[in-house]
A and B are shown apart, each in its own frame.
Chain A
Amino acid sequence: KAGVTQTPRYLIKTRGQQVTLSCSPISGHRSVSWYQQTPGQGLQFLFEYFSETQRNKGNFPGRFSGRQFSNSRSEMNVSTLELGDSALYLCASRWYRGGGAQETQYFGPGTRLLVL
């Protein structure tokens, strides 16, 4: 079974631009979460999508947004990029059966974004 895939793997942008990152979950997984990883702040939760709905959101400004498609693929968008947005953006997927079942999140390789 293929793992979580993310595209692109590397990206260089300039301040003020916007960027869209893509995540394809493991086949059959319906929940996708996004995280930002920086040396200073570590791994921080951005948001989670399930069945095309955002169910949970971390403490990030509105410039960070996302969406999920009917095939469970997800995109996140960052508008008006700032230098501090340089980070590794990771997405993680899981099946999500609901009913209190505990399921592991599996991470993709990440997209490394550099804002100049």
Chain B
Amino acid sequence: EDKVVQSPLSLVVHEGDTVTLNCSYEVTNFRSLLWYKQEKKAPTFLFMLTSSGIEKKSGRLSSILDKKELFSILNITATQTGDSAVYLCAVEWNAGGTSYGKLTFGQGTILTVHP
């Protein structure tokens, strides 16, 4: 059965700290790994990763995928209180060459950034 595990489940840091969130997966026919940030309602898209070793960056956030070891990390540098949220990792599988819209999510990491 497809499985996505995130760690840690929760993290409390102070502004300015750097954090690393982890996501490991066991998915047959891997297609892509996505990171989302969820504050109060809708998860908002951060990154989609499909190739190993290629870092994706957006401001203070970056992410990388290791398809051999089946994991991804999300780094946030110089954290701010606005980074407080649940960070979700999701994996999409490939069904016969097409993708049928199913994302398998991890439990999420609750990040709390104190001033």
- Pairwise interchain contact B31-A102, C-beta atoms closer than 8 A: yes
A102 in contact with B102 (CB, 8 Å): no
Contact B45 A48 (CB under 8 A): no
Take A42-B105, A42-B107, A102-B50 as given contacts and tell me if A56 and B42 are in contact as well, using a CB distance cutoff of 8 Å. Answer: no
With A56-B95, A102-B32: A45-B102 Cβ-Cβ less than 8 Å: yes
Which A residues are within 8 Å of any B CB, using their own CB?
4, 31-33, 35, 42-45, 48, 50, 55-56, 58, 88, 90, 92, 94, 96, 98, 100, 102-110
Give the number of residues in B that approach A within 8 Å (Cβ atoms): 27
- Check if B28 is an interface residue, CB within 8 A of chain A: no
A102 surroundings in chain B (CB, below 8 A): 31-32, 48, 50, 92, 99
What are the residues of chain B within 8 A of A56 when measuring CB–CB?
Answer: 95, 100-102
A15 to B95, CA, bound (A): 36
| Given known A-B contacts A56-B100, A110-B42, A104 and B48 have beta carbons under 8 A apart | yes
**Which residues of B (85-102) have their CB < 8 Å from a CB of A?**
88, 90, 92, 95, 97-102
Query: Is B34 a contact of A108 with CB atoms below 8 Å?
Result: no
B103 at interface by CB-CB < 8 Å = yes
- What are the residues of chain B within 8 A of A105 when measuring CB–CB? 34, 45, 101, 103
Contacts of A58 in B (CB 8 A): 102
